[in-house]
Structure 1
Amino acid sequence: MQKAIIHFVISALLGLGIGYLAFQVVGGGEESNVASPETANTDTTTEKGNAQEDTNTDTEAVVAEDSLLSTKGCLGCHSVEGLNLTGGATGPDLTQAYINVEGKHGKPIDQFLKEPTSAVMSGVIGGNPLSDDEVTQIVDLLKQASQNQ
């Protein structure tokens, strides 16, 4: 019985490792899809100067928020397609989280981020709690992501 368990664990680890490597090599290993401010300037040049300024400000906000989601570890498991943020595939995409969390978890997203009702997120956030300011920034970001879709 022990030999079967050992073989299972080794096979599982090898499978995960090979899957991870394949994902990195085949298509998931590219850098974040967030446009840099320089790219935004060339891609969004319009005849209207105000439209260009608004787009640049939005892009800079997304880049700044990317660092918060990265530093807090959110992108380790989640992506946010609504903001063109590529992350891990373990957790669900967070583009519609602003809209869906209350129905799924029974509390508004800001309360969920302070006291999650899911076992996985309880462990993650419990070990790295968010400040009120960080919760507000993440909620605003997820609201923006849901509006972009």
Structure 2
Amino acid sequence: MRGVKGYLILFAAVGALGVYGVSKLARGIRNNNPLNIERTSDQWLGMAVDQSGDARFVVFDHEIYGIRAAAKILKSYASRGVNTIEKIISTWAPSHENHTESYISTVSRRTGIPANQVVTESDYPAILAAMIYVENGFNPYSEELIREGVRLA
């Protein structure tokens, strides 16, 4: 799997942050779930057998599966007309739990896509990269790894 490069980037990011144990990394990075997908009855491809590491969010075996799951969710949103950054983020991160307006603004700014512009699947890698940044405070993954996760969705 080409996703192995993601591990190298993750280790480089950890090195740049200082010498931290895995427990100091953002929750989404620790769980290989960089978009913080909540647990439901869904059985995602690549879910770790042991889900005891987090009571709220899915734990994946590899970050590519977390990215793939997020891309599948975006495709599901699009089928229901949730197809702009504003609509995607408002659904993904509702205001009763998040600073949704700030999240929308950051994703729009980082992608260069206006918040109300209809997006297509070709925009997903950039959108997911920006969402990973918001969810974790940084994005340690390569564009190639994110594109591969979207391709697998």
TM-score for the superposition, normalised by structure 1: 0.32
When Rg is computed on C-alpha atoms for both structures, the one with the higher figure is 1
Q: Greater RCO between the two (CA within 8 Å, min separation 6)?
A: 2
